[in-house]
Structure 1
Amino acid sequence: MEQLLLLLIFLPLVGALVTAFSGNAAKHVALISAMVSLALALVMVCNFTPDASTQFAVSYPWIQQLGVNFHAGVDGISMITILLTNVLVPLIILAAYQHGYKSPNAFFALILFMQCGLLVVFTAMDAFLFYIGWEAALIPIYFICAIWGGKDRIKVNMKFFVYTIAGSLFMLLGIIYLYLQNPAKNFEIQALYNLTLDSSQQTWIFWSFFIAFAIKMPIFPFHTWQPDTYTEAPAPGTMLLSGIMLKMGIYGVIRWLLPIVPFGVQEWGNTAIILSVIGIVYASLIAFTQKDAKRLVAYSSIAHVGLISAGIFALNTQGMQGAMVQMLSHGINVVGLFFVLDIISSRLKTNRISELGGIAKQAPKLAIVFLIIVLGTVALPGTNGFIGEFLLLMGVYQYNVWVAVFAGLTIIFGAVYMFRMYQNIMLGKTNELTIGFTDIKGSEKVVLYAICALIIALGVYPKPILQLSEASVQHLIEQVTQKLTSVN
């Protein structure tokens, strides 16, 4: 079974190469590749033992002179992100079926290439391999946004690129420093976990990693690239960025930051939580003022990710488990939201809320699925958003009551601006623009029905997802706590 992980990682790369030379059949080839990857991921889940061990591990010498190995493995934490990636990529490809993108073979090949980079990030047990995957996932999304984006795509994309490259360089410096401190002179994750670093070393390592991860998520004040990029990117690009790519930053904090520099986290974690909560309140207030629905959802994403970040840095089991569940739930919900807005935009050529209205009368099926997605986003009990946000708020409450009060504003504010957006877009009277709106059909139905099914299924019965990550999360918390108490 150990070769299953290699197959899972490299199948999207093979699929990308085949798709690149598939001409008009590119989207079908890409979808088949993504569906096979999903099937492999489900096989992996079925053969996964939900304990704290690393499974399906592979390790091959790569750059022996530098001590670099192709070392990858899966535990409960990475299994959640693997599921997220392989569930969302076929939905994103299918969502792009309705568009006639120029050079479709290049477009769909880049999506699969990005999938490969993401899977490397989520399974890497070698810091150098993690960095390679981190950069490999950035390259295709840059071209997707730059070639197929909106009218301001070049300027906006350059800002996004500068932000992410700057963050990556900070992380690279941190990785090189850790390598130099490692007597074994390798990048193995366990060797880096076992390093003994003093407080000043841990402080600067904390910030070198945290800045890279905070930009990717993004957390206030590293968020300014996000709303413009989400707005200007083509819909599948926005879905990839919001649904999967920002989870790289969350995963990086959990997998690399917390275990390597626990004293740095103890010293500066409070600052990270404050920044996260500021981002929740700030992004929610800005979302109230948005005239463009796509920008509103972009700001709501910042608020939700801020709560996930606060839950992680609270350093308790509830907060961490909440982060794991919410990573999956947020990815599903935000992809659904952006797809609904893409359907509206492709029919009416606008996402300006004031120009819409009465669409529910013309498209009742779209109105129902859109409402289910909105309910999941605002964490209604019985939907996928509820269990994650409940656990996150419990974790933050254990950390500090007042922080939890402000963090909880994400639910209150979110309900207000999301329902108001839904009301203004879907309800009321039709106008000259929306009178001819047609309901969802074909691939649109498949994607939205699948997303709604996931929202309800995970909301009603989240136990399998919680069980996947529970042992690994508890082991991580114990690992960090043991390091802190052994010195104190």
Structure 2
Amino acid sequence: MLTLLLILLPIAAGVITLLAGERMAKQLALVGGLASLGVAIFTWLQFDPAAGSQFGFKYAWLASGGISFAAGIDGISMLLVLLTTFLTPLIILSAFKNDYKNPASFYSLILFMEAALIGVFTATDAFLFYLFFEAALIPVYFLSAIWGGENRIKVTFKFFIYTIFGSLFMFVALVYLYYQTPGEHSSEIAAFYQLQLSPAAQGLLFWAFFIAFAIKMPLFPFHTWQPDTYTESPTPATMLLSGIMLKMGVYGLIRLLLPIVPLGMEQWGFLAMILSVIGIIYGSIIAIQQSDMKTLIAYSSFAHVGLMAAGVFSSSLNGLQGALIQMLAHGINVIGLFFIVDIIYSRTKTRYLDQLGGITQSTPHLSVYFMILLLGSVALPLTNGFVGEFLLLSSVFAYKGWLGAVAGLTIILGSVYMLRLFQKSMFGPKSKWVEGFQDLTASERAVLLPLIVMVFWIGIYPSTFLKITEPAVNQLLQLVNN
């Protein structure tokens, strides 16, 4: 029942926040986010990685059709539930320094988004997975469309159409799989794992799943919605999109595509790997050329997710473990970096690198936090980014040596665009835009400090998190190989 509580608690908190009105919206939303984090930590402490799916529930949804409202938590789900519940209260707290119109609606949408994300990561019924996969789109759409930038309507409409289009392919695939289950049919994801599908059917299903998840992550060439959406959305929505929502796509590859269509992976996995590696290099090169700090980080996120996908398509233990730990590390780093950009913008009213400079002269705390998150992003040893990137690159090297060499350029290119970001914004003479720039406030440090702790925790002692996922990943790979 803990799984059900994890889903329902943010919904209840969101409803209370919405009904409470403007005065208490921030505080109630934060309490709701922290309560979900508390339940997630309690669940983690009770969790046995070797015991498979736990804390589950199953209620008849469409009983005559064998469709259930069913969810549970295994090691893969546990890691992503922890990520979601850890980042959500920080996202809420990061918004405190801004005055958003109609804050009750704003903060309740963040909590509804959290509930949908937890639903995606815990669903054991395929149609419930699809329901939450689509439901997660609704809150972030309104967050971006109502509180976004000048071009928000056009950009969010493109984002909505893209993702709905991709999801339709997945829905068709799920309906097909449902009708392939024997007897009275079942929509349990575990039942889909047992299907013996022809190579031709698996090839078509591969593309149905791949398109849906590639758009959500996104992967090259399905990425064109991402940079503008990240840039135009309010920073909390951008944090949700980049820190957590894109992980739904990588999770879908691991949970559905890899074990359901292994023969499809044999047919098309190499092409998918090529597209992933292209995205790494393409995203990095475009990031180097950006002058808008927010757009630069958006393209860096695009490059990072390409490496995660490449690890999944390697179908190896290192690749899957690397993708999972990198999802955790990337969520922490990108949330911190987007928050720092928002801090700089709130004080200077600009995000353009050619208008900034000299910030570090009066901001020792901001400079240190910024540099630590940056070094985590470029995978410096003993930081969180190093563990996942090492595992991912080793898996791609094992898959194809030359592809690993090309993907390895991300180390150099990532250092170039991230150090350029820091140099041009923080060093050099002070520009007129940064006169009177003040260092971090107490609430801003409260957001950044937990992220910094996680940067070093994951980098120095990654086994805390790798041992959560390893039994589930081994079981998944055994299923694929069989």
Q: Same fold (TM over 0.5)?
A: yes
Secondary structure, counterpart of 2:436 in structure 1:
coil
Q: Could you say which residue in structure 2 is the equivalent of 1:396?
A: 396
CA distance, structure 1, for counterparts of residue 206 and residue 20 of structure 2: 45
Aligned-residue offset at 1:52: 5.5
1:215-241 Cα deviation digits (max 9, x unpaired): 011000000000000000000000000
Aligned-residue offset at 1:286: 0.7
List alignment gaps of at least 5 residues for structure 2.
none
TM-score (norm 2): 0.99
Q: Could you say which residue in structure 1 is the equivalent of 2:196?
A: 196
1:339-375 Cα deviation digits (max 9, x unpaired): 0000111111110010000000121110110000000
1:415-426 aligned within 5 A: 415-426=415-426
1:44-69 Cα deviation digits (max 9, x unpaired): 11011111511111111111132210
Q: Does 1:135 align with 2:134?
A: yes
Question: In the alignment, residue 461 of structure 1 is paired with which amino acid?
Answer: Y
Aligned-residue offset at 1:189: 1.0
Q: Could you say which residue in structure 1 is the equivalent of 2:209?
A: 209
Q: Could you say which residue in structure 2 is the equivalent of 1:171?
A: 170
Q: Does 1:91 align with 2:90?
A: yes
1:1-28 Cα deviation digits (max 9, x unpaired): xx11111111000011001011121111
Q: Could you say which residue in structure 1 is the equivalent of 2:312?
A: 312
Q: Could you say which residue in structure 1 is the equivalent of 2:338?
A: 338
Question: In the alignment, residue 300 of structure 1 is paired with which amino acid?
Answer: S
- For these two proteins, the number of residue pairs brought into alignment is 480
Q: Does 1:370 align with 2:370?
A: yes
User: CA contact under 8 A between 1:276 and 1:310: conserved in structure 2?
Assistant: yes
CA distance, structure 1, for counterparts of residue 230 and residue 344 of structure 2: 16
CA distance, structure 2, for counterparts of residue 427 and residue 86 of structure 1: 35
Secondary structure, counterpart of 1:290 in structure 2:
coil
Q: Could you say which residue in structure 2 is the equivalent of 1:428?
A: 428
Q: Could you say which residue in structure 2 is the equivalent of 1:9?
A: 7
Percent of aligned pairs sharing the same letter: 54
Aligned-residue offset at 1:102: 0.3
CA distance, structure 2, for counterparts of residue 410 and residue 238 of structure 1: 23
Q: Could you say which residue in structure 1 is the equivalent of 2:284?
A: 284
Question: In the alignment, residue 425 of structure 1 is paired with which amino acid?
Answer: S
CA distance, structure 1, for counterparts of residue 212 and residue 30 of structure 2: 31
Q: Could you say which residue in structure 2 is the equivalent of 1:162?
A: 161
1:210-289 aligned within 5 A: 210-289=210-289
1:86-129 Cα deviation digits (max 9, x unpaired): 00000000000101000000000000001111011000000010
Secondary structure, counterpart of 1:433 in structure 2:
helix
Aligned-residue offset at 1:456: 1.1
Question: In the alignment, residue 405 of structure 1 is paired with which amino acid?
Answer: A
Secondary structure, counterpart of 1:308 in structure 2:
helix
Aligned-residue offset at 1:31: 0.4
Aligned-residue offset at 1:442: 2.1
Q: Does 1:443 align with 2:443?
A: yes
Secondary structure, counterpart of 1:21 in structure 2:
helix
User: CA contact under 8 A between 1:52 and 1:475: conserved in structure 2?
Assistant: no
Secondary structure, counterpart of 2:315 in structure 1:
coil
CA distance, structure 2, for counterparts of residue 117 and residue 61 of structure 1: 19
Question: In the alignment, residue 202 of structure 2 is paired with which amino acid?
Answer: Q
CA distance, structure 1, for counterparts of residue 118 and residue 136 of structure 2: 9
CA distance, structure 1, for counterparts of residue 233 and residue 362 of structure 2: 28
Aligned-residue offset at 1:256: 0.7
User: CA contact under 8 A between 1:179 and 1:185: conserved in structure 2?
Assistant: yes
Q: Could you say which residue in structure 1 is the equivalent of 2:60?
A: 61
CA distance, structure 2, for counterparts of residue 433 and residue 226 of structure 1: 28
Q: Could you say which residue in structure 1 is the equivalent of 2:32?
A: 33
CA distance, structure 2, for counterparts of residue 147 and residue 177 of structure 1: 37
CA distance, structure 1, for counterparts of residue 317 and residue 203 of structure 2: 24
Secondary structure, counterpart of 2:69 in structure 1:
strand
CA distance, structure 2, for counterparts of residue 127 and residue 275 of structure 1: 27
CA distance, structure 2, for counterparts of residue 369 and residue 429 of structure 1: 21
Q: Could you say which residue in structure 1 is the equivalent of 2:352?
A: 352
Secondary structure, counterpart of 1:473 in structure 2:
helix
Q: Which deviates the most, 346-355 or 46-55?
A: 46-55
Q: Does 1:180 align with 2:179?
A: yes
RMSD between superposed Cα atoms in Å: 0.8
List alignment gaps of at least 5 residues for structure 1.
483-488
Secondary structure, counterpart of 1:51 in structure 2:
helix
CA distance, structure 2, for counterparts of residue 470 and residue 190 of structure 1: 19
User: CA contact under 8 A between 2:243 and 2:335: conserved in structure 1?
Assistant: yes
Q: Which deviates the most, 122-131 or 452-461?
A: 452-461
User: CA contact under 8 A between 2:2 and 2:56: conserved in structure 1?
Assistant: no
CA distance, structure 2, for counterparts of residue 4 and residue 191 of structure 1: 24
User: CA contact under 8 A between 1:362 and 1:435: conserved in structure 2?
Assistant: no
Aligned-residue offset at 1:472: 0.7
CA distance, structure 1, for counterparts of residue 57 and residue 238 of structure 2: 32
Q: Could you say which residue in structure 2 is the equivalent of 1:479?
A: 479
CA distance, structure 2, for counterparts of residue 426 and residue 449 of structure 1: 20
1:422-446 Cα deviation digits (max 9, x unpaired): 0100111112111211111021010
1:184-234 Cα deviation digits (max 9, x unpaired): 412011111111110111111111111000001100000000000000000
Q: Could you say which residue in structure 2 is the equivalent of 1:104?
A: 103
User: CA contact under 8 A between 2:321 and 2:473: conserved in structure 1?
Assistant: yes
For residue 21 of structure 1, the aligned residue among 19, 22, 34 is: 19
Question: In the alignment, residue 175 of structure 1 is paired with which amino acid?
Answer: L
CA distance, structure 2, for counterparts of residue 4 and residue 78 of structure 1: 13
Q: Could you say which residue in structure 2 is the equivalent of 1:460?
A: 460
Secondary structure, counterpart of 2:388 in structure 1:
helix
Aligned-residue offset at 1:410: 1.2
